Each structure stands twice: as C-alpha cells, then as structure tokens.
A and B are shown apart, each in its own frame.
Chain A
Amino acid sequence: MRIIIVGAGAVGYHLAERLAVEGQDIVVVEADEEKAAELQTSIDCLVINGNGASRRVLEEAGIESAGLLIAVTNSDAVNILACQAAAEYQVPRKVARVEDETLRIGPGINGVDLIIDPGAALARELLELVRRTGVSEVVEFADGNLVLLGGYVQEDAPMAGVTLAQVRENLTNWEWIVAAVVRNGETLIARGDTEIRPGDHVLVVTTGDNQVEALALMGVEVHEPGKVMVMGGTRLASLTGRLLAEEGIHTILIDSDAERCRRLATHSNRLVVVCGDPTDPKVLEAEGIESVDTALALTGWDEINIVSCLLAKALGVEMTVARFHRFDFVGLLAGVGIDAGVSSRLAAANEILRFVRRGRIRSVTTFQDTAAEAIEMEVGHGSAAAGLTLREVNLPRSAIVGGIIRDGEAFIPHGSTVVEPDDDLILITLPDAIAAVEKVFG
C-alpha cells in the first residue's frame, strides 16, 4: 500500500521508519529542505520537498493511488488541509494530527477519518504509568482477563539471573509467559534459554487474577502514588500535570519560566505550579521532593530531563520517568537512574498503527522503549496454522503467541496448544515479522 506521510518531524520520521520496515511504500512530504534531504539518506522511502497541503505536491507524491495519508506536521491547519485535499482524490483513509482541542468539538473535521494528538496520547500513557508506580506497561486484553505487564527486573527478583526454562520448572501453579525482554535498547523475543538479568525490562502476559504474582516475579511492588512531580512547562508537561491533578493525584509542576508558569496556573485549578529550576536541588527540596513517589521530567531538553531524573533519584524519589527527543536514549538510558523513557512519537505511532492495521488485526499496542508491538488478531478459516499446535506452526523467531481468546475465554497457551479458526491471538512481535504473522494466521 502507498502511504503518504506529510511532515517529517519526530512523529512523521518515526512512522516512516516503522512502516518502511514492514514493507509499505512510503512517500514523505516535508517542507524543510534540509530535513527532507536527511530523511532521504536514512530511510528507504521517497521524499518530496514541498508544502503538504498543496495539490501539486500531493499529486507528485502519487496521491491518486495512495491508500492512506498521515498528516503530522506541527501545524493543525496544514494537517487538516492536507486531509481535505486527499479526500478530493478519494484517498480511503486520512489521519491528521490536531493539537487544538477546540477543533475537536463537534461531529469531527470534514475529510479527516482519525484525529490524533501525540501529546495527549502520551499524557494518558503517563497517567497509567504513574497510577501503578513500578510498572512500566499495562495492556489489558479480553476485558482484563489477560494482562500484559511490563516492569524492570530488580536485583533480588526471583527471576533474576536464571533462564526462563528454569523459572518455568519452579513455577507451575499459575499461568504466565514472558513475551519479550528489552536489554540495552534491544528487544529479544523470549525463548526458553533466555537468561533474565537484573535491570532488564520484561513484558509478561498473565491472567487478570495473577497480576500481583507476575510483578512479584520481577521484584516489583505496586502501590498508588501519593505525590507526583512534573518537571517542565511544555505542552506535554501541562497536559500530563492537568490529567494527574484531575485524577486526584497531588501533582506539583515545576518550570523555570515565570510567564509560562502563570499561564499554566491559569489553566488548571488543582495543579500546583511552582516557578523554579527543576535541576536545582534547593527548589526540589523546598517542594518536598523526599515525599514524591514519581518524578516525570518532561521539559523540551533531553539533558535537563536526564539531570532532573538523576537528581530526583538521588533525593529519594522512587520512580523517575524522562521524556526523550533523541530516540536512542529511550532504550539506552531506561534503567540507569531513569526508570522509564518516553517519547511522544511512540504514543502517536500507537494510535496510527492501530488504525492502519485494520482487518484481521483487531488492536495494536506499541511500547515506549522497544519496537515490539502487541497485536490482537483473528485466525482465518483458511489459515495454514489452523489445526496445528503452536510448536508446529512455523512462526518467525521474532514473534510469540502470548495469549488465546477462544469463545470468550482467555488463556495462556503452551507449545502443545492447538490453534483453531476464529481464535483471537495475542501476539508480541517485532515489526519485521508482521507480514509473516499475517500470512501464517490470516
């Protein structure tokens, strides 16, 4: 399928990269000449330099044969205009990034099928993260009967320093499966011989009733946050702070710009806005950093976010989360004084991929520090895998079945579980295996 991406900012770049790996035909339209040139050398896609809202440029990008247009420039107006132009060329699906909330009021925007807001999406993810201090990811399937949990393996965890096969031998009384391990920014789809080390970011699938046991396996204890500190006055920081405060979580937002602080304080009543340098220990101590459960560093500079997190950790904060622009940092630095790294481009990708993968694939979840996705897909009647056990199915090594929902009942499969048509499979997979997975089960 031909996919046109308008705008090669953080979100556009990441989407282009991700979809190109899956083998889609990507055309990126970017107004900035330098950015366009840079993109051309790093991603296997066609780059067109020009205004994405202009018909001539879109025609050059092959709009007549496009199956999807994703407009993610940082201008709401350009994004909406691009979608409306695409609508005239009968492009079946159009996605626009719109950050102005007031534009979303009403029945939607003419010509736009999906409106995304990466900042707001990430703010919601951060809320989920903060709600369960110590847990990095929570995804529920089948009405919560199956849960995918992410966490960082602690030094004294039962699973630290042993292979998965050994853990399996000792634990047979409840169902669990380790789906993926993220270590030093690389994702390994779990096998029996995979050894778990302290500091690994592990994704575990378990039943809804066994969440606490699954987290205990990683040495993680979950509790409600009492006090959260948000560092920075960016849009993301403001959205997150407001969301947390409205949830009734005591939230303090620190930013060094007095004027911005005023504006933020005007926007939200329950959020406590403090004007000061988030990397100044005196400021943090004056606001009672020692009693803070989670610190979110969401300024616009990676360096400040890293320093604030390290500082917060040193001053006794239990969990620190940093927002990174430099994508490599997300995987590399997580676990080193920073418990989780986040990036708004990933949150945006999540929303868009769910939309792109319609058909057999029911839902898609991406994770902050790994390229792996959790997808829910239906096994087709003509599938080559139907009637075979999972061991017999020729699944790529970079994909694993973490759960099966059959006739409304959810369970964790074993190698001997037989796949049946109409089963809903929960798969954890890397992007390069998506095409193969669709072929096997589709």
Chain B
Amino acid sequence: MHRRHLVLIVGAVVTAAGLSMLVPAAVALGYGEVGDALALAGSAGISVLFGVLAWKVIGRTGELSAREGFAAVALSWFAVAVFGSLPYLLSGAVDGPTNAFFETAAGFTTTGSSIVPDPAALGHGILLWRAQTQWLGGMGIIVLGVAILPLLGVGGVELARAESPGPTPDRLTPRFRETAKRLWWVYAGFTAVEAILLSVGDMSVFDGIAHSFTTMSTGGFGTDAGSLGAFSAYSQWVVIAFMAMAGVSFALHFRGLQRPGEYARNAEFRVYLSILAIASVFFLVGTWGGAIATTVRDAVFTAVSLVTTTGFATADFGQWAVALQIAVVGLMFLGGMAGSTAGGVKTYRLGVLMGAARNDLRRIMHPRGVFVTRLGRDPVPDSVVESVQSFFLFYVALFGVGILFLGVFLSQAGSPIHLSTAASAVASALGNIGPGLGEVGPSGNYLAVPAAGKWLLSVLMIVGRLEIFPVLLLLTRELWRK
C-alpha cells in the first residue's frame, strides 16, 4: 500500500474541485451577490491550498495497483464532499456542517435529496455550485481527471473503473484517456443542447443551464421548491427526453451518434426502453382520471425520473395510492444502463441477474447441462455474473441495514417519521434518486431527519454512487497493510 500515491490522487481531485468553484464565484459576482462570491472564492482558496499541499508536498507519483485505485477513488469522493461543502458553510446558505455535508454529498453523488426548503431563496452563485456538483459527479470527477490531467497516466483506467457505473467501462479508443475525453464531450454536448432547448422555453438562461446540469447527471437538484412542476409542459417534456438519454450508456451514445443502428442492436438498451415504457404505462393506469395531457405527462415524467434515478418531480407521488407508492420504491432499485450517469442497480446487472436465475431453472431440467449467462445474445463471463450477484447481495443488505439504523436514529430522536418513509429514504439514497415518500417526498425535504440519520444517508449516497465495492474495500484490513 503506497499511501503517498493515494494522497496525490486525493490532492489532485480536491484541487480540481476547488478551481471549479471559481466559476460560480464569478457568476455570483455578476449577479451582484458579493457575499456569496467571496464565500465561493474563499472556499476555492482553501480547497486549492489543501489540495496542492497534499498533491505536491505529501503525494508521490507512482503506479497504482487495482486496489489502490479503488481506495483512492473512495477517499477522493469523501474528500470532495467535505471541501465541496465549504461554500454552503461560508456563505451561510446552509446551517451547520451536517446539513452542508449532506447537501454536497447529495450533489456530487447526483442523488439530489436536499435539506434546502426553498432553493429559490438561495443566491445564483450557490445555486450554480449546487447544480455544478451534480454535473461534475455525474460523469465522474475521476473520469474528468483522467481526461484532462495527464498525471493519472496508466493507472487512470483502474481509477475510472472504480468510479464508472457498471461492471466494466467500455473502451472506445485504444488509449483510455481518449475514451474519457470523448465521453465527456458527448456529456457536455448533450448538456449544451438541453440548456439551449430549455432557455428557449419558459426558463431563464440561468435556470436552463442549472437544470441541464442536473438532468444530464440524473441529479435532480432544482432551482424552485416545486421542482419541474413550476415550469411549463414544454420544459417538462424536454427534461423527460434528456433524463431518458442520460440513463443510456454514454459509450453507446458515442457510437450511436455515428451509426444509429447501434442503439437497436444493444440488448441492454432494449431492456432499458421496455422498463421505461412499462413503468410509464403502470403509473398512467394507476393515476388515470382528470386532464389527459397532464396525467400522461405526470406518469411518464415520474417513471422516467425514477428509473433514471434523477429525482425531479411534477407530481407528488407521496400522495398516490399505496400500490403506486410501493412501485415507486421498487423502481428506485432499477437504475439506468451501465455506463450512464444513472444510479441504482443498473439495467445491465438486472439483465445478468435474470439470465443467471433463468439458467438455474434450466439446470434443474438438465442436471448436467452447461449454461452460459447472456444479455441479449452476448455471453457474460462467469466472473462478471458472480460480481453482479455479490453486488446485488450487498445492495439489498445495505438497504436492510440502512433501514434498521435509520429507524433506530429516528426513534431515538423521537421523530414522528414513519417506517415506510425511512425505507424510501434509504432506497433513494442508495440508488442516488433524491426524494422519497412522505415527509421526504417531492414536496418535502430532508431537513427534519436527525443528524445521525443525515450522516448515514450521506454515506449511503457515496456508497451507492461508487457502487459499493470501493468504499467496502476501505473497511478491509488487508488494504491498509504495508
């Protein structure tokens, strides 16, 4: 274990995050919010100071092994969540370190659960920083680092592997650095197109940019307490389309933009689309009644928002029938495609799990049969099947343990929050969705959750975003052995 190699990575990532705070600082200055501008610039200064110290003074360059890469990524994410909370604290936009850390973790992990009752009351600079954390976290701060910083070098693949959603990142080019660049270009391109389309409608340019940041990253932070419900039908449909696109693998987007046939050929993509369609129809049938246009839009919006783990809302599904609420929590587990910005279990893993389960059934009929798990026509190696199965086990176990602990914290604090609400909050944090049911539903927020509960949910968000293993690795004794 080369601890100094880890420190170098963490330092570089914190420095980069600090530098990125200068953009919202400039915006705040532009809107005449001098206090926020100073807070953001000060946060940038502190972050860069600590970052450079760790990077240049303590850190040492060197090749990283796979496990060191995993550990470096996990540590970087915790570090970024700490330094990223400085603007909230220094500007006074958020009360206390617990709330600030929660808000930042919900940002970088693209969860989008908030403790801010009314985002419209925040200054533009802080709002932009809030949206920007999601945008940076969506495609991955490490992947971005690999793309723009040559220093991550060969070990960059290992780092990106730890951060990318899905079992293995797709290689588009022989050199991984080029792949990372292309993914970021596609990501940035989609974001720009959405920002333009939203600004043309009833959103201001600022709202358009902020929402496109949080749509493409499947984050779900809004600029208004009413989330997307505060905007026109046009804006809602644009967001539906871009949420759906953000749930698709960006490597597939890169290929599909050159040869559209690639989309139809991809088995995972077909499964993903069917999930979106089935969930939409389910909600549509369940909420039928009233104006057709609104019912259809709300049903499709909610389904796409949940499956892609974005967490925007136009309707308060906390008020829906019980069966629909159960479906809402169920959908929180699915997630988008591997290699997308979405959270959750991911379509790829679901497909693999179903395939493996089906093979177990076939094995009963043919005791000596040899069956290979497939996704569509493509065979999935056994090692991947096993890692998917253990991922799912950990995921479900964390869900259970999370509810248990949250329940304990809630009852200790004498909170009136119901168990079903706690369950939805844990599923929502782990899957990086955002809102849950009840008090933490689309029309509420997480402010009332006791401090211990907020820390628990924040950690679950990071664990969910990094897909469990990197964080779990930090807890193994073997990693820290010299």
Contact = CB atoms under 8 A, between A and B. Distances in A.
Interface stretch (B112-120, B370-378, B441-449): B370-378
A218 B56 CA distance: 91
A390 B366 CA distance: 59
A64 interface: no
Interface in B376-415: 377, 379
B368 interface: yes
Contacts of A252: 366
A431 interface: no
A157 B110 CA distance: 78
Interface stretch (A49-57, A119-127, A169-177, A264-272): A264-272
Interface stretch (A2-10, A273-281, A318-326, A332-340): A273-281
A287 B366 contact: yes
Nearest to B374: A269
B290 interface: no
A210 B370 CA distance: 44
Contact of A275 (B362, B370, B377, B379): B370
B367 interface: yes
Interface in A252-292: 252, 258, 261-262, 264-266, 269, 272-276, 283, 286-287
A283 B370 contact: no
A266 B373 CA distance: 8
B369 A274 contact: yes
A255 to B, nearest CB: 9
B366 A274 contact: yes
Interface residues of B, number: 11
Interface in B214-228: none
Contact of B368 (A264, A266, A269, A274): A274
B370 A274 contact: yes
Contacts, number: 33
A156 B372 CA distance: 47
Contacts of A269: 374, 377
Contacts of A262: 370, 372
Contacts of B374: 269
A280 to B, nearest CB: 10
Candidate in B362, B371, B377 with the most chain A CB atoms within 10 angstroms: B371
B368 A286 contact: yes
Q: Which of B367, B368, B370 has the most CB of A within 10 A?
A: B370
B370 A286 contact: no
Contact of A266 (B366, B367, B369, B372): B372
Interface string B19-41: 00000000000000000000000
A67 B366 CA distance: 54
Contacts of A287: 366, 368
A258 B369 CA distance: 10
Contacts of B372: 262, 265-266
Contacts of A272: 362, 366, 369
Contacts of A273: 369-371
Contacts of A258: 370
A258 B367 CA distance: 14
A275 B372 CA distance: 13
Contact of A276 (B362, B368, B377): B368
A242 to B, nearest CB: 12
Contacts of B362: 272
Interface in A110-151: none
A274 B362 CA distance: 11
A265 B371 contact: yes
A256 to B, nearest CB: 10
Contacts of B368: 274-276, 283, 286-287
A269 B370 CA distance: 11
Nearest to B380: A266
Contacts of B370: 258, 261-262, 264-265, 273-275
Contacts of A264: 370
Interface of B: 362, 366-372, 374, 377, 379
30 contacts: A252-B366, A258-B370, A261-B370, A262-B370, A262-B372, A264-B370, A265-B370, A265-B371, A265-B372, A266-B372, A266-B379, A269-B374, A272-B362, A272-B366, A272-B369, A273-B369, A273-B370, A273-B371, A274-B366, A274-B368, A274-B370, A275-B368, A275-B369, A275-B370, A276-B368, A283-B368, A286-B366, A286-B367, A287-B366, A287-B368
Given A262-B372, A275-B369, A276-B368, 19 more contacts: A252-B366, A258-B370, A262-B370, A265-B370, A265-B371, A266-B372, A266-B379, A269-B374, A269-B377, A272-B369, A273-B369, A273-B370, A274-B369, A274-B370, A275-B368, A283-B368, A286-B366, A286-B367, A287-B366
Ordered nearest first, which 3 A-B pairs have the shortest CB separation?
A261-B370, A265-B372, A265-B370
